[in-house]
């Protein structure tokens, strides 16, 4: 089985190899993965700097691998921790002028 991620989310990803999206799009992607029967494994934070360069966030490490947890709980945990990271970054960005992105790891 292959999880179908909506094309507008795939094309919005900051990476061609991984699903790396802004906050609102990342929540939509979580819902699409869950609805498609995929297993969400976790997320980690990336930063898009004002010059367009990308890198991993030191402040927003995301979650560890959530493989052994019931998917409904994983989905809720990801939503909550991503929202908290987004709020924190909005109030006190790790790098001034950067955008926090969310790399979602999942399995079909």
The pLDDT value recorded for residue 1 is 53
Sequence-ordered alpha helix ranges (H) in 1-108? 7-12, 23-35, 71-91
Q: What's 51's DSSP letter?
A: T
Question: What is the residue extent of each domain of the chain?
Answer: 12-107
Give the residues across from 105 on adjacent strands: 42
Domain 12-107 class in CATH? alpha beta
pLDDT tens string 47-99: 999 999 999 999 999 998 898 899 999 999 999 999 999 999 999 999 999 99
pTM value is 0.94
Q: Is it the case that residue 100 has pLDDT exceeding 60?
A: yes
């Amino acid at each position: 089985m292959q999880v179908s991620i909506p094309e507008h989310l795939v094309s919005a990803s900051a990476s061609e190899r991984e699903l790396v999206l802004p906050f609102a799009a990342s929540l939509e992607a979580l819902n699409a993965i869950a609805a498609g029967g995929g297993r969400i494994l976790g997320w980690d934070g990336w930063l898009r700097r004002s010059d367009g360069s990308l890198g991993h966030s030191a402040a927003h490490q995301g979650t560890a691998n959530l493989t052994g947890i019931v998917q409904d709980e994983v989905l809720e945990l990801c939503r909550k921790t991503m929202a908290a990271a987004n709020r924190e970054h909005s109030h006190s960005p790790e790098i001034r002028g950067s955008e926090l992105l969310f790399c979602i790891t999942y399995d079909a």
